[in-house]
Amino acid sequence: MSVTAFIESLRAEVRGLPAYNAGLSGEFVRARYGVPHVAKLGSNENPGGASAAVLAHLAQSTTTGTLALYPDPSCSALRALIAERLAVDPGQLLFGNGSEDLLAIAAHTFLAPGDEVITVIPSFGLHIIYPQSVGARVVTVPMREDFEFDVEALIAAISPRTRMVIISNPSNPVGCAMDAAEMRRLLSVVSPETLVLWDEAYFEYASGDDGYPDSLAVLRESGLPWLLLRTFSKAYGLAALRVGYGVASAPELAGLMNRVRTPFNINQIAQQAAAVAFGDQAHVAASVGEARKGREWMRAVLLGLGVKPARSRANFLFFDCREDAAKLAGRMLEDGVIVKPWREPGYETCMRVSIGSAADNALFIDSFERRRGG
């Protein structure tokens, strides 16, 4: 059998999968464009990096001599810390090699071929790709023209056939967030046979903002099956270590997901570093403070340039640049500036820019101003 014939014999949903657009690395852009410095503003990373406590921990932990041993498969230490802070049963928690791992595990655990999934567009790509990889049919509901969630359209799209609703709040890529009343209205039409997957990758940036919901409380009162996702990749500055966590509505659901996941999906170094990072909330608060400051500066400058970014409660801005965003982003690479042009149909003139250091934010504005309309 040739490779082609073999591939043709595979499941259609796998053969038809779009590739996730993971963005460019700084090393690639530096080498390809010969620029001395790269402003990496395409992946919503924390420009402040990991906390000093984590760096100090990692510097001494290489001497512990435990590298030959398998890591703790249940992340016990990290689990205890998070369970206590969130006041949840430790059995409700589960951990992923990044929260993207948990998205994949959720798709494999809760979906079957032909199941219907509702999410929004523009979307976080993996909210579509993972359900599709198990043969689910994903229905995407467009955001409103003012780049807010179209809660009414989502309500209209949800039916008894819906098996999963996936929402990131704040939204990636838009940045907007539903408030508690909108969240309650949405959940009120969801059937008990539908899993609500509430992705809070950017929780820390929005937490404490006026109108940002206590989603754990709202999900709990819904009485539905749900899974809440958070990550150490953003405000905690640990994207390279790959640690995300989920809270499931019941330990039984977490138990099912635990059977689907690979047993040692969080390495020991990552588990320990995440536990140290979780204990350093001052670093998280400082990172969030910087991101908010940079975001409001960037928003004001963009407004001055005639560009209207969507309301954002996260560490990025999304806006319509009214030209082919991929071409513009390509020209900006020549200045060493990486942004994320949107590729989903209907949004090809939109781009998302992460909030970086003050210097990188200024580099972005300078490049955007010079390169646009070209």
Q: Are 118 and 162 in contact (CB under 8 A)?
A: yes
Give the DSSP per-residue string, 72-89.
PTT-HHHHHHHHHHHT--
The least distance separating ligand PLP from the CB of residue 232, rounded to whole angstroms, comes to 7
Smaller CB distance to ligand PLP: residue 25 or 331?
25
- Which one of residues 140, 233, 249, 272 is an interface residue with ligand PLP (CB under 6 A)? 233
Chain centroid offset of residue 117 CA: 18
- In the bound complex, what is the minimum distance in angstroms from residue 244's beta carbon to ligand PLP? 4
Residue 269's alpha-carbon distances to 71, 73, 283, 369, in angstroms, are 9, 13, 19, 42
Residue with tokens 């989903």: 344
- Does 124 bind ligand PLP (CB under 6 A)? Our answer is yes
- Coil, strand, or helix at residue 283? helix
CB of 358 to ligand PLP, least distance (A): 22
- Asked whether position 215 contacts ligand PLP by CB under 6 A, the answer is no
- Give the binding range for ligand PLP (CB under 6 A) out of 71-79, 133-141, 211-219, 231-239: 231-239
Euclidean distance between CA atoms 291 and 307, whole angstroms: 20
Per-residue mark of binding to ligand PLP, 342-361 (x: CB under 6 A): --------------------
Among 29, 39, 44, 115, binds ligand PLP (CB under 6 A): 44
**DSSP H or E segment with residue 109:** helix 99-110
Cα–Cα distance between 342 and 265 in angstroms, integer? Answer: 31
Q: Binding ligand PLP by CB under 6 A: which of 92, 99, 272, 361? A: 99
Q: Give the strands of the sheet with 162-168, arranged side by side.
A: 93-96, 244-248, 226-231, 195-199, 162-168, 116-121, 137-142
Closer residue to ligand PLP (CB): 99 or 271: 99
* Residue whose CB is nearest to ligand PLP in the complex, by number: 98
- Can you tell me which residue has the tokens 């948990």? 102
Q: How many residues bind ligand PLP (CB under 6 A)?
A: 13
Binding mask 174-213 for ligand PLP (x = CB under 6 A): -------------------------x-x------------
Task: Say how far apart CA 212 and CA 290 lie, in whole Å.
Answer: 19
Encoded amino acid at 89, one letter: D
Site membership for ligand PLP, residue 100 (CB under 6 A): yes
Nearest to 82 by CA among 70, 71, 96, 69: 96
Q: Is 167 in the site for ligand PLP (CB under 6 A)?
A: no
Q: Does the footprint of ligand PLP cover residue 98 (CB under 6 A)?
A: yes
Q: How far is the CB of 195 from ligand PLP (least distance, A)?
A: 16
172 touches ligand PLP (CB under 6 A): yes
| Residue 164 touches ligand PLP, criterion: CB under 6 A | no
| Cα(249)–Cα(222) distance, integer angstroms | 10
Distance between CA atoms of 199 and 178, rounded to whole angstroms?
Answer: 12
| Residue 244 binds ligand PLP, judged by CB under 6 A | yes
Q: Report the interface residues with ligand PLP, using CB under 6 A.
A: 44, 98-100, 124, 168, 172, 199, 201, 231, 233, 239, 244
